[in-house]
Structure 1
Amino acid sequence: MTTLNVGDTHAWINRFAAQAEDQFDALTDLDRLVGDGDFGMNLRSGLRGAVRRIDLDPPSDPGGIFARVSDAFLDTGGTSGPLLGLWFGRIGAITGDSVTAADFASALTAATSAVQRLGNAQVGHKTMVDAMVPAADALSDAAASGSTVFAALDAAAGAAQRGAQSTRSMLARRGRATYVGEHARGVEDPGAAAIAMFFSAAQREGDPA
């Protein structure tokens, strides 16, 4: 498939929500080491809310799906809720029934820039931005080469995963992890891990990239 439609997007968010349920304990444990331990709960709560909103009032296009996710996270507590709400809201600015790789790349770049401005975070600060920026760059590169949207999202997933893994060696410069200093080294940032999870959920099992 060359473009992303509303059904694809709905299934993607459902897979992401299922992964958040499966990884709840792992994300909570990571956040206990570098934060206040509520990230797994906030991610799960936001995605449960998103699934309910989508099911109660099904959108007619992919942008509408991401807008519902945004609304759910904006109603979720913690530091991550507003940031993820902003990110998904900007992605939700996508218009049209069929989203191309170029469409998604443009929206993702704008969304990531908005999060960076709000959080004053850069790559290397040990935050979710360490997964967001590589994913946006990889998706843009794939789109520019003429890739389908799913091939581009697959490239983004790999870049996000590498970005998340890179946070293990970092000393935090933003967020609650700054409070624990050197104790955060060796621990993957839970926000970055969640972003990598989001992109990994885009690829359907058995689908060609």
Structure 2
Amino acid sequence: MTMLSVGGTRAWIDRFADAAEDQFDSLTDLDRLVGDGDFGMNLRTGLRSAVQRLRSDPPTSPGEVFARTSDAFLDIGGTSGPLLGLWFGRIGAVSGVEVTATDLASALGAATAAVQRLGNAQVGHKTMVDAMVPATSALTEAAVSGATLSAALNSAATAARLGAESTRAMLARRGRAAYVGEHARGVEDPGASAIAMFFAASSYKSVPA
């Protein structure tokens, strides 16, 4: 797969939504250990809304898919809603009816930088940024090397999963987990886990637009 179509992007969000349903309990349990326990609910609610919006008003480009997903997260509020809404919104700035690995890498770079600015978070702070940054870097490196979109997304998925797993050893510096100190050490950050789920859901067979 060399290009991301609108159909492929919708299938990606559908699979992400399915994963959020499947992992609802585990994400909730993680957030109860490091936060206020609402992350699983917020993620599931946002993605349910995104899927509904995409069905009721079918998009015509990958960018529109991500933009509708952004709108859904911006409507749920909380801590994660605005951050995920911002992230998907910046990804949604990608143009064209078909998107290359280079196009997607550029949009992800802008999206991740925007989240870092808003949350004042860096890699090592035990937040979703710990999965976003390595995934973005891996996708960018793969695109520059001439890899196919599928291969680039696989690299991003691997990097995001490793980034999420790395948060277990961290002492939180940002977010609600920062208030519980050592109690959060040994627990994977739920936001980083969700970003890893998003990239893992990118693996797909060609879907017609």
The aligned counterpart of 2:176 is 176
Shift of 1:77: 2.2
Gaps of at least 5 residues in structure 2 are none
* Aligned-partner residue type, residue 186 of structure 1: G
Which ranges of 4 or more aligned residues in structure 1 deviate by more than 3 Å? none
Shift of 1:148: 1.2
* Distance (whole Å) between structure 2 residues aligned to residue 111 and residue 198 of structure 1: 14
* Distance (whole Å) between structure 2 residues aligned to residue 127 and residue 85 of structure 1: 16
Quote the RMSD (CA, aligned, Å): 1.2
Bigger RCO (CA 8 Å, 6+ sep): 2
* Distance (whole Å) between structure 2 residues aligned to residue 70 and residue 21 of structure 1: 18
The aligned counterpart of 2:76 is 76
Q: Deviations over 1:150-183 (max 9, x none)?
A: 1111100000000000000000000000111000
The aligned counterpart of 2:188 is 188
Alignment of 1:142-161 (within 5 A): 142-161=142-161
* Distance (whole Å) between structure 1 residues aligned to residue 71 and residue 51 of structure 2: 11
1:31 pairs with 2:36: no
The aligned counterpart of 2:104 is 104
Q: Deviations over 1:74-118 (max 9, x none)?
A: 001210000000000000001001100000000000000000000
Aligned residues: 207
1:58 pairs with 2:58: yes
Secondary structure of residue in 2 paired with 1:55: helix
Could you state the TM-score of these two structures normalised by the residue count of structure 2? 0.97
* Distance (whole Å) between structure 2 residues aligned to residue 4 and residue 204 of structure 1: 10
* Distance (whole Å) between structure 2 residues aligned to residue 144 and residue 205 of structure 1: 23
Secondary structure of residue in 1 paired with 2:96: coil
User: Relative to structure 1, is the Cα distance of residues 91 and 41 closer, same or farther in structure 2, using a 3 angstrom cutoff?
Assistant: same
Gaps of at least 5 residues in structure 1 are none
The aligned counterpart of 2:164 is 164
Moved more, 198-207 or 177-186: 198-207
